[in-house]
């Protein structure tokens, strides 16, 4: 039960509404019992009185009671459903917000070992399962307990023996059924929770990777694995349904035995007067109606195992400590940014070799630099350290002389514009996707930025109201990257961090984007991670990284003069350029104007 404690405390925020829902459920149950009980006694009394009772039997008062109970039951049921469901949805809302607020600070370090589909399943399906705690456990149990005590007290006023017998049996059922069916249903509930998660993970992987599965002929094999998981999931669902049917059958048997006992006790006369009485029908119908209140309790606790399994799965994620903790206050955002890193060392969890190893770097305010190096040299990791996605194990990073750990998250995000390798396009309009970076810009400003990055064709048709779809499926990879650059341009930040900003672009657009970044980046500190060599001569400095450290740095001309690694990077490019010039000369007509291939 400890797994449920963090979530039970959230119920206190809506304790009044939840208590009102329970109270309305109790009123509805009592009205239903009163309706059936009063109707049984009324019919029995009227039959006993016969025609002679037209003047001696009071027909009006019980008839009014029947109508009053019926109206109360109907109104109570409606009000209980409205209040309980509204309270449940509000609790679910806060459960999701609470869970998401605990997950968000964990990104990316503490949640790196979880798959995205698994996190989504825990945030949605497991949180949804927690609503069973109120609707299927707390409310039915509280209602059944209060109804049992109320019916027992009412019947004891007429016949203590019969009332106590009925109350004792119902209390014993309330005491035994929950632990009995909780233990019986716990393994099934845990298996259902695990299989539901496994099935959704496999289904998500099958749908997202369907193209590759079809191309390599693995779709049928993967589908069989999915079907096998579904069969096991359905098998446990049948077991849970069987437990529910068994609980209801046992309750029905106990209802019949208890009714027999109550009739036997009341057979000698209600109140012990030794004469038969129409009140016997009241006791019989009261017994049947009271046991209806126990119906939800019979199968409620078999779902508790599933609820606790879902809570445990959520706790595995939200009880982790964040890798990065931001201070609540710090320096105000700066208009310009100078950056320094001193002997920084970082390794990803589970890796033996450090990704960043004793790296030191200084970038002046307004300076434009490029980080160049082979894949795995630590370029993108350095950008993640600058944005505090991770913190270094050793060494210090500072902005304007202030350690990065002392900047608040809001100030750091306001000063930084990032274009990642994979630009995420939300399933929203073009306008909404652009205004993520700046909420206050108008359509005229958005239009100017789209023209700057070469995306003006997106304005044809529906314009800014065009729906881009999940993941920007209507956009090519190069267009998605230009969307990321457009966001960076809209975000008036003094520090730009761009990870492969021209990857996937053609040569002409690449030159346009580099020229744009150079022009609009005036006065801003710009760090570009790239594998491409074209256009780097425009930058103030080029830093060559290898094995997590800087091995060369300087301007394009200085590095070419050193004839180091940067110079050797350019040799294949020069050979390719010379080859293209020679091919062009051999294939052109004699009177053709000479073409300059140097650019």
334 occurs within a structural domain:
no
599 occurs within a structural domain:
yes
> For the chain, how many structural domains are there in total?
3
Question: Are 64 and 24 part of one and the same domain?
Answer: yes
Contact 239/185 with Cβ under 8 angstroms? Answer: no
Percent over 70 (pLDDT), the chain: 90
Structure tokens belonging to residue 69:
């109970």
Give me the pLDDT at residue 210, please: 84
For the chain, what is the total number of helices (H) and then of strands (E)?
Answer: 20, 10
203 occurs within a structural domain:
yes
Question: Are 226 and 351 part of one and the same domain?
Answer: no
Nearby residues of 56 by Cβ (< 8 Å), 6 or more positions away: 49
- Which comes out higher in pLDDT, residue 54 or 108? 108
Tell me which of 104-113, 356-365, 447-456, 508-517 is least confident: 104-113
Give me the pLDDT at residue 55, please: 58
Question: Are 511 and 588 part of one and the same domain?
Answer: no
Please report which confidence band the pLDDT of residue 213 belongs to, taking 50, 70 and 90 as the band edges.
confident
Please report which confidence band the pLDDT of residue 497 belongs to, taking 50, 70 and 90 as the band edges.
very high
Rounded mean pLDDT of the chain?
83
Question: Are 585 and 548 part of one and the same domain?
Answer: no
Give me the pLDDT at residue 594, please: 38
pLDDT value at 443 more than 60: yes
3-state secondary structure 435-453: CCCCCCCCHHHHHHHHHHC
Q: Provide the pairing of β-strand 356-363 with 416-419.
A: unpaired
Give me the pLDDT at residue 243, please: 87
Tell me the C-alpha distance between 193 and 82, whole Å: 29
pLDDT value at 269 more than 90: no
Give me the pLDDT at residue 596, please: 39
Tell me the C-alpha distance between 551 and 108, whole Å: 29
Could you give the 3-state DSSP secondary structure of residue 304?
Answer: helix
Please report which confidence band the pLDDT of residue 169 belongs to, taking 50, 70 and 90 as the band edges.
very high
Over range 496-508, report the average pLDDT.
81
Over range 444-448, report the average pLDDT.
89
Question: Are 362 and 252 part of one and the same domain?
Answer: no
107 occurs within a structural domain:
yes
Percent over 90 (pLDDT), the chain: 18
Q: How far is CA 490 from CA 369, 417, 448, 487, in A?
A: 21, 9, 10, 5
Backbone dihedral region for residue 4 (phi beyond 0: left; psi -120 to 50: alpha; all else: beta) = alpha
Question: Are 431 and 450 part of one and the same domain?
Answer: yes
* CATH number of the CATH domain containing 516: 3.40.50.300
Please report which confidence band the pLDDT of residue 4 belongs to, taking 50, 70 and 90 as the band edges.
confident
Tell me the C-alpha distance between 203 and 117, whole Å: 10
Question: Are 477 and 582 part of one and the same domain?
Answer: no
52 occurs within a structural domain:
yes
- Determine phi and psi for 269, rounding to 5 degrees: 115, 135
pLDDT value at 504 more than 80: no
Question: Are 573 and 550 part of one and the same domain?
Answer: no
Give me the pLDDT at residue 403, please: 92
Question: Are 578 and 539 part of one and the same domain?
Answer: no
361 occurs within a structural domain:
yes
Structure tokens belonging to residue 246:
């068994």
Give me the domain span that covers residue 237: 2-318
Question: Are 446 and 547 part of one and the same domain?
Answer: yes
Give me the pLDDT at residue 575, please: 53
Model pTM score: 0.71
Contact 228/202 with Cβ under 8 angstroms? Answer: no
**Which helix (DSSP H) or strand (DSSP E) does residue 546 occupy?**
strand 541-546
Question: Are 278 and 386 part of one and the same domain?
Answer: no
Contact 431/462 with Cβ under 8 angstroms? Answer: no
Tell me the C-alpha distance between 315 and 127, whole Å: 11
379 occurs within a structural domain:
yes
Structure tokens belonging to residue 170:
């119902």
Tell me the C-alpha distance between 549 and 519, whole Å: 29
Give me the pLDDT at residue 276, please: 54
Question: Are 507 and 576 part of one and the same domain?
Answer: no
pLDDT value at 439 more than 80: yes
SS percent in the chain: helix, strand, coil, step 5: 65, 10, 25
pLDDT value at 77 more than 70: yes
3-state secondary structure 352-412: CCCCEEEEEEEECCCCEEEEECCCCCCHHHHHHHHCCCCCCCEEEEEECCEEHHHCCHHHH
325 occurs within a structural domain:
no
pLDDT value at 52 more than 60: no
381-411 per-position pLDDT tens digit: 999 999 988 889 899 999 999 999 999 988 9
- Domain endpoint, select from 284, 318, 352: 318
Alpha helices in 159-270 (DSSP H): 160-208, 210-215, 219-266
């Amino acid at each position: 039960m400890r797994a449920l404690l963090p979530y039970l405390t959230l119920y206190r925020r809506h304790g009044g509404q939840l208590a009102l829902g329970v109270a309305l459920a109790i009123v509805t149950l009592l009205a239903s019992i009163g309706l059936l009980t009063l109707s049984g006694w009324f019919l029995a009394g009227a039959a006993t009185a016969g025609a002679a009772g037209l003047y001696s039997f009071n027909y009006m008062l019980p008839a009014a009671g029947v109508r009053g109970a019926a109206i109360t039951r109907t109104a109570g049921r409606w009000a209980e459903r409205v209040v309980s469901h509204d309270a449940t949805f509000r609790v679910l809302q806060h459960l999701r917000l609470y869970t998401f607020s605990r997950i968000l600070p964990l990104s990316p370090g503490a949640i790196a070992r979880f798959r995205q589909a698994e996190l989504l399943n825990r945030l949605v399906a497991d949180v949804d399962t927690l609503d069973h705690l109120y609707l299927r456990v707390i409310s039915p149990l509280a209602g059944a307990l209060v109804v049992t005590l109320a019916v027992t007290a009412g019947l004891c006023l007429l016949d203590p023996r019969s009332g106590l017998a009925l109350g004792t049996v119902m209390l014993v059922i309330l005491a035994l059924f929950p632990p009995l069916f909780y233990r019986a249903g716990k393994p099934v509930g845990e298996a259902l929770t695990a299989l539901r998660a496994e099935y959704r993970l496999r289904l998500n992987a099958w749908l997202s990777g369907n193209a590759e599965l079809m191309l390599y002929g693995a779709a049928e094999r993967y589908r069989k694995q999915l079907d096998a998981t579904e069969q096991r999931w359905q098998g446990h669902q049948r077991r849970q349904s069987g437990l529910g049917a068994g609980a209801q059958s046992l309750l029905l048997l106990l209802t019949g035995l208890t009714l027999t006992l109550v009739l036997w006790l009341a057979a000698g006369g209600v109140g012990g007067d030794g004469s038969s009485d129409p009140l016997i029908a009241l006791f019989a119908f009261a017994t049947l109606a009271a046991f209806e209140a126990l119906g939800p309790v019979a199968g409620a606790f078999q779902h508790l195992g599933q609820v606790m399994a879902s809570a445990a799965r959520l706790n595995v994620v939200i009880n982790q400590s964040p890798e990065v903790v931001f201070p609540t206050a710090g320096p105000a955002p700066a208009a310009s940014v100078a950056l320094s890193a001193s002997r920084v060392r970082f390794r990803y969890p589970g890796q033996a070799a450090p990704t960043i190893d004793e790296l030191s770097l200084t970038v002046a305010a307004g300076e434009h630099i490029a980080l160049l190096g082979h894949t795995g040299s630590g370029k993108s990791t350095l950008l993640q350290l600058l944005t505090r996605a991770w913190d270094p194990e050793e060494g210090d990073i500072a902005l304007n002389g202030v350690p990065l750990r002392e900047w608040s998250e809001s100030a750091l995000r306001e000063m930084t514009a990032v274009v990642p390798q994979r630009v995420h396009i939300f399933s929203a309009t073009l306008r909404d996707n652009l205004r993520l970076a700046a909420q206050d810009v108008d359509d005229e400003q958005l239009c100017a930025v789209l023209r700057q990055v070469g995306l003006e064709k997106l304005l044809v048709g529906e314009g800014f109201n065009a729906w881009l779809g999940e993941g920007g499926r209507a956009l090519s990879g190069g267009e998605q990257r230009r969307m990321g650059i457009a966001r960076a341009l809209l975000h008036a930040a003094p520090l730009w961090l761009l990870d492969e900003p021209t990857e996937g672009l053609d040569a002409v657009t690449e030159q346009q984007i580099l020229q744009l970044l150079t022009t609009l980046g005036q006065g801003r500190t710009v760090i570009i991670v790239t594998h491409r060599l074209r256009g780097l001569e425009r930058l103030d400095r080029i830093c060559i990284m290898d094995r997590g450290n800087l091995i060369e740095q300087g301007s394009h001309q200085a590095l070419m003069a050193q004839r180091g690694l940067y110079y050797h990077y350019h040799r294949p490019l020069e050979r390719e350029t010379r080859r293209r010039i020679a091919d062009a000369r051999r294939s052109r007509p004699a009177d053709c104007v000479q073409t300059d291939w140097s650019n």
